[in-house]
Each structure stands twice: as structure tokens, then as C-alpha cells.
Structure 1
Amino acid sequence: MMRAAYSFVAGMVLALGLATGTPGMAQEERSTAPYAYRQLDDPAKEEQAQDLMETLRCLQCQGQSIADSDAPIAGSMRSLVRERIAAGEEPEAIRSWLIERYGDYVSYAPRITGLTWPLFAVPAVLVLLAFLLLRRRFGAKADEGGEA
């Protein structure tokens, strides 16, 4: 009987600790990047940072830009972008560094490289092939209809 009461109390303490500890941990995690939720003082530099952040994909959310995401990694990336912009680094240099670090997936504007060019060329070739096949098919029908 005593053991059951002890287990119940221990479970309640654990549940209470988890319920009250989680928001505190989220606040701590949220504040680790100084510019995650704070804009730069210079409006021109903040605009540059904002434009760049809207073109970078959140690695955790995957469907949102780092400007729109509340994920901790997006906050860290926003802070990093703002810090580098404030230091005078060009947005394209920051984008290149992030792509080098996280891969092409981080950018909404993919680069054409030796490995990615087929992704851009194959759809164009398929559209051209479909156009030629349809032209040949319907061109032949038009010629037959015109003779009769």
C-alpha cells in the first residue's frame, strides 16, 4: 500500500516537473540566438537580412522560410544572417556559406550545377518532345482533311 502511494506521488512530481519545466526550457532555447527575434537597428541592413531570410528554407519545418518559422534552428539561422549582414557581409556570400554548410536544400533558389542540370533540362526536353509528337499527329490529320 505504501509502495503504491509512493509511486503515485513520484508520478505526480514528475508530471508537474514536466508540465512546468517545458515552457522554461523553450524560453531558454529561444534566447540563445541574440538576433533570432530582434531586428537590426539599421533599416537598410534589416531589409537585406529579411529578403535573404525569405529565400532560405527552415531545415526543421521544410515548408517554411526561416523568416516565417518558429523552430529553434530557424531562429539560430535568422540570428546568424542578421549578425553577418550587420558585419557587412554580402547576402550572396551568406547564402553560399549556408548552402555549403547545409546543402542545396536550404535555398528556395536552386543552383544549376553538374549534378542538378538534368532536373532543369529533362522537363524542357519532355515538353519539346510532346509538342513535336502533337504537331506531327494533328498536322497529319489536317493534311488528310484538306485533301478530301
Structure 2
Amino acid sequence: MKQLGEGWNWRDLKLGDRFITFGRTLFEADLLNFVTLCGFSEELFTNKEYIATHAPMRGGHPVPGALVYSMAEGLVIPTTLQGTGLAFLSMGFDIKGPTYVGDTIHVEIEVTEIKPTSKDPMRALVRTTNLVKNQKGETVLIYTPLRMMQGR
């Protein structure tokens, strides 16, 4: 019996496959918890008066790109890699635009590389291009993880 929420099997993927996640709004509590946990004590993230006087043209309370990436992975992992992802090996990472408290993000995923490993035919290296988009459809972050995934 297949368990609900089980991730992709690399043998069921093909180059060019595309997927989209559900959305997730970034709340003030998310920002505060993240900057406290990670020590991101920069005033741009922790001081509303500083933002109002030094960065008023930016359009709101910005969040760190590392938080946006972490939230994106939180949308991707439970629906695509649960139980089938074996290792996160590397990634490219490019912030394309700002993200603010109150923005809602989702991830658009495209499979760009599948390479079975030579040592174990049950495993493959799978690279995806993950576009993180806000509620306006603007791409705010692109990352390209290379993961080891299991097969059947």
C-alpha cells in the first residue's frame, strides 16, 4: 500500500517534468522566529523604526533570503522527497528580488537532470530548478538543488 505524502521515485521522473507547490504566507512571527533562531540581528529585519527611516522605498518589512529558501524547502520536501530523498548534495542559489512579511510564496519545480549512480542502480542524482514566486507571480529566488534520490 502506498503511503500518502510519499515522495517521488527517481525512476518515475523525466527531464522537463514540472510541478507546483501550495502557497505559504510569510508572517511576522515567521520572521521573528527565524532571525532569533539564526542570529540575524540586522536592523533591517528587527527594527521597524530603522526600516521606516532608512529603507522606506522598499515596500514593507523585508525578510532574509535564507528564510525564503527555508520556507520554499518546507513546501517542497513533504510533497516531493518524503521517504525518497537520500541526500542534499549541492545547489546554486540566486536571489532575484525582495520578499516581505505578508507575501505568499509558492515553488515551481522543473526536473533538469537525472543521472543514475554507478555504484547503486537504485539511486540517482536528480537536479531541479526551483523558482520561488510571490503572489504577484514575480520570481524572488531561484535555487537548483542536486539531491540523491532512491528508486524502486
TM-score under structure 1 length normalisation: 0.21
Greater strand fraction, Structure 1 or Structure 2:
2
Q: Which has the larger radius of gyration?
A: 1
Specify which structure has the higher proportion of helix: 1
Structure with larger RCO (C-alpha < 8 A, sep 6+): 2
Task: Name the TM-score, length of structure 2 as normaliser.
Answer: 0.21
